[in-house]
Amino acid sequence: MNNWWRGAVIYQVYPRSFKDTNGDGVGDLPGIVEGLDYIAALGVDAIWISPFFKSPMADFGYDIADYRDVDPLFGTLADFDALLAKAHGLGIKVMIDQVLSHCSDQHAWFQESRQSRDNPKADWYVWADPQEDGTPPNNWMSLFGGVAWRWEPRREQYYLHNFLGAQPDLNFHNPAVQQATLDNVQFWLDRGVDGMRLDAINFCFHDAQLRDNPPKPKDKRVGRGFSPDNPYAYQYHYYNNTRPEMLPFLEQLRALMDRYPDVAALGEISSEDSLATTAEYTGKTRLHMGYSFELLVDDFSAAYIRETVSRLETAMGDGWPCWAISNHDVPRAVSRWGGAGDDAFAAQLVAMVCSLRGSVCLYQGEELGLSEAEVPFELLQDPYGKTFWPNFKGRDGCRTPLPWRDADAGGFSSGQPWLPVPAEHRARNVAAQEADTDSVLQHVRRFLAWRRQYTALVEGEITFLPTDEPVLAFLREHDGQRLLVVFNLSAQSHAWTLPEGFAATALDGHGLSAATLDHRMLDLPARGSWFATLA
Checking phi first, is residue 370 left (phi over 0); if not, alpha (psi -120 to 50) or beta?
beta
pLDDT (mean) for 325-338? 96
pLDDT value for 224: 55
Domains 9-104+173-451 and 460-534 share a fold: no
* Given the residues 199, 313, 329, 343, the one annotated as active site: 199
> Any idea which architecture 460-534 has in CATH?
Sandwich (2.60)
Helix (H, G, I), strand (E, B) or coil at 196: strand
pLDDT, tens digit (0-9, with 9 covering 90-100), for 470-509:
999 999 999 999 999 999 999 999 999 999 989 999 999 9
Residue 393's nearest CA partner among 220, 221, 226, 222 is 226
pLDDT, tens digit (0-9, with 9 covering 90-100), for 13-62:
999 999 999 999 999 999 999 999 999 999 999 999 999 999 999 999 99
CA distances 16 to 21, 23, 152, 381, Å, are 11, 12, 32, 12
User: pLDDT exceeding 70 applies to what percent of the chain?
Assistant: 99
In what order do the strands lie in the sheet containing 157-160?
127-128, 157-160, 149-152
pLDDT, tens digit (0-9, with 9 covering 90-100), for 250-291:
999 999 999 999 999 999 999 999 999 999 999 999 999 999
374 tagged catalytic: no
pLDDT value for 516: 86
pTM for the model: 0.97
CB 142 within 8 A of CB 162: yes
199 tagged catalytic: yes
pLDDT value for 473: 98
Residue spans per domain, the chain: 9-104+173-451, 460-534
DSSP code for 147 = B
* Cα angle 348, 353, 359; round to 5: 145
Residue 199 makes CB contacts below 8 A (sequence gap 6+) with 51, 62, 97, 98, 99, 100, 101, 268
pLDDT classification of 515: cutoffs 50, 70, 90: confident
pLDDT value for 440: 98
Specify the CATH number for 9-104+173-451; select among 3.40.80.10, 3.30.565.10, 3.30.470.10, 3.20.20.80: 3.20.20.80
DSSP code for 101 = S
Average pLDDT, the chain: 96
pLDDT classification of 146: cutoffs 50, 70, 90: very high
pLDDT value for 222: 73
pLDDT (mean) for 384-405? 93
* Given the residues 268, 343, 366, 396, the one annotated as active site: 268
227 pLDDT higher than 70: no
106 pLDDT higher than 90: yes
- Largest Cα separation within the chain, whole Å, is 78
pLDDT (mean) for 353-359? 98
228 pLDDT higher than 90: no
